[in-house]
Amino acid sequence: MAPIRTQWTRLIRFVANETSRVHIGQPVDEALDVGLAAYQRKLIKAFEISGSALDPAAQVTTKVLTVKSLLTPLSREEVKLVRCLGLNYVDHAEEARLPKPNFPVLFYKPVTSLIGPLAPVIIPKVAQPPKDHNPDYEVELVIVIGRAAKDVSEADALDYVLAYSGANDVSFRKHQMAVSQWGFSKSFDNTNPFGPCLVSSRLIPDPQRVSLKATVNGSLLQDGNTAYVSII
């Protein structure tokens, strides 16, 4: 099967100044760090995309819109379900002093956990006060599957990838470490920042060579690479 090819290279979802409505588009400045620009409240322009973010046939138009606010690159209705793989970074497992699992550690998040890249994380009542529940962050690579898949071989797996993105896997460690199932501690409403961009899979031919970093208040606290991911 042929890989998925989109006309757009990077896709953002946003409310436009011109219409006060939600649009999808491709940043006009190909080199712009969209997340940083939004955080610094700099001007962001985008060519409107006609069609659905999940449709490879969606077309980049010449109509330029101004970003008023960034949203998740996919709506909750488009995502439907978030599937996660835990303890797959070797260094993170070692840092947590947890043994390498013999089987994949899978858990799920409801779409109600998803928020935009700059939206505030809402700490739920059951995780307050925060100092007693150890809220924590984790930078993650997001893989967006673009077509129905079942019984796919490892050799063909990347042909099903539409795009990549980033996310902050916010966890509440007290709840996570109390039970064997991780879903509860990572699934609260409005706790999973996602985006700001979808990056077309054609721009990342080798997803096993992606640098991932997390900074908190200007300090670099995570610096990893998908080269150190171990599925099993």
Give the per-residue pLDDT at 91.
Answer: 65
Amino acid 119: pLDDT: 97
Whether 145 and 204 share a structural domain: yes
**Are the C-beta atoms of 167 and 192 separated by less than 8 Å?**
yes
Amino acid 130: pLDDT: 82
pLDDT, mean of residues 183-189: 85
CATH number, residue 193: 3.90.850.10
Same domain, 109 and 137: yes
Shared domain check, 176 and 87: yes
Q: Pinpoint the alpha helices (H) of 85-186.
A: 90-95, 173-178
pLDDT exceeds 80 at position 137 = yes
pLDDT reading at 231 higher than 60: no
pLDDT single digits (tens) 7-57: 999 999 999 999 999 999 999 999 999 999 999 999 999 999 999 999 999
Cα separation, 139 vs 213, in Å, equals 7
Read off the pLDDT band of 221 (50, 70, 90). confident
CB 90 within 8 A of CB 100: yes
User: What whole-number distance in Å separates Cα of residue 66 and Cα of residue 43?
Assistant: 7
- pLDDT at position 110 is 94
Total domains in the chain come to 2
User: Contact at 8 Å (CB) between 103 and 46?
Assistant: no
Domain that holds residue 88: 82-228
Residue 120's pLDDT is 96
Clarify whether residues 39 and 100 are in a common domain. Answer: no
* Cα 122 to Cα 15, 84, 110, 172, distances in angstroms: 21, 21, 15, 12
CA–CA dist 56, 4 (Å, integer): 7
Residues 38 and 63 in one domain: yes
- Residue 141 pLDDT grade (very low, low, confident, very high; cuts 50, 70, 90): very high
Residue range 152-177, pLDDT digits in tens: 999 999 999 999 999 999 888 877 77
Q: What is the amino acid identity at position 183?
A: G
Average pLDDT, the chain: 91
Residue 76 placed within a domain: no
Q: Specify whether 127 is located in the same domain as 212.
A: yes
pLDDT digits (tens, 9 = 90+) for 57-102: 999 999 999 999 999 999 999 998 899 987 776 666 666 666 777 7
Amino acid at 29: D
pLDDT score recorded for residue 92: 60
pLDDT for the residue numbered 182: 76
DSSP state of 229: B
**Do 121 and 197 belong to one domain?**
yes
